[in-house]
Amino acid sequence: QVQLVESGGGLVQPGGSLRLSCAASGFTFSSYTMSWYRQGPGKERELVAGISTSGGSTWYADSVKGRFTISRDNAKNTVYLQMNSLKPEDTAVYYCKAPRFTSWGQGTQVTVSS
């Protein structure tokens, strides 16, 4: 079955950086678009970024454009989210997902605080 395991979260100061990873299994990773979502405290889950099967196309929420970069390594079945210039409002649990499937991983907590 589809399995997604996110990692790389943590506590970081405003202006800092983190790189999230998501290891996927149970499906042909290279054939599917992948996305990152996040859910902040008291907020609904929102789409943060997405990437096409080859990595040639990417898209971002306006709130993270210019600060976050999504990428993928199809040989490793892994999708990444490089997060720079982090702000307190980026605090959330971050999840990866293949939109074609309903499965979610456990997420990884990102906390931006001084």
Q: For residue 110, what are its two tokens?
A: 């990102």
For a pLDDT cut of 90, what percent of the chain falls above it?
96
Q: Hey, what are 36's tokens?
A: 């990152």
The pair phi, psi for residue 34, each rounded to 5°, is -125, 150
Residue 77: what pLDDT? Answer: 98
What would the pLDDT profile of 11-62 be if each residue is shown by its tens digit?
999 999 999 999 999 999 999 999 999 999 999 999 999 999 999 999 999 9
Q: Side-chain half-sphere of 5: how many Cα atoms within 13 Å?
A: 7
Task: Give the lowest-confidence range in 2-6, 27-31, 40-44, 98-102.
Answer: 98-102
